[in-house]
Amino acid sequence: MELYLLRHAIAVDRRGPKYENDSKRPLTAEGRKKLKRCIRGMQALGLTFDFILSSPYLRARSTAEIVARALRLRRRLEFSNHLAPDGDAESLIELLRRAHGASRRLLLVGHEPYLSQLAGTLMGGPLRVSLRMKKAGLCKLTVEHLRLGRCAVLDWLLTPRQLVSIG
C-alpha cells in the first residue's frame, strides 16, 4: 500500500478573536493559491489515489476538497475525527485496515504534529523517528502490512516549494 500524508495548506492565524474555535479556521487566499500550484506538482508526478480521508477541521477539509476536485476524486473523499489534531492513531489505523485495506493508494489530509508523529510511528515503531511537514507538504510511505508500529518505509517527503517546482 502507498500511504500519502498531506498537511493542510496555509490557514488564518489562530490568535485572532474571530477564530477562537481552532476547528473553524479557513485557508487563506495565499494558502489556496499555493495549494493549487502544489497540486500541479502532484499531477506532474502522476499521483492518483484510490481514496482520500481528511480531518474534518475546516482548513484540512478545504485542502482535501480542493485536491479531490482537481484530481476528480470528489466521490472518494471522506472525513474522520481520527485525523483531527487530537485524533487517535490506533483508531485511524483500524479504520484504514477495515474500510480501506484493499486500497493501493490512500491520501490522508491532516495537521502537524499529528501527521509527523503518525509517519514516525509507522516507520520506527517504538523508536523515535522525527519529521517536520510544511503546510501543503506531502509525504509518501510504502506500507507492507498496515499496523500501528513499524510497518512503513519513507519513500519521500516533499516541501511545497519542491512540489511547485515539479509542476
State the pLDDT at residue 128.
Answer: 72
Say what the pTM is.
0.95
- The reported pLDDT for the residue numbered 46 is 96
Measured distance CA(84)–CA(103) in Å, rounded: 22
Domain annotation for the chain: domains and CATH numbers:
2-166 (3.40.50.1240)
Tell me which residues of the chain have a pLDDT lower than 70: 16-17, 126
Cell of 151: 510497518
Preceding amide of 113 cis, omega within 30: yes
Peptide bond into 126 cis (omega under 30): no
pLDDT, tens only, 71-109 = 999 899 999 999 999 999 999 999 999 988 788 999 999
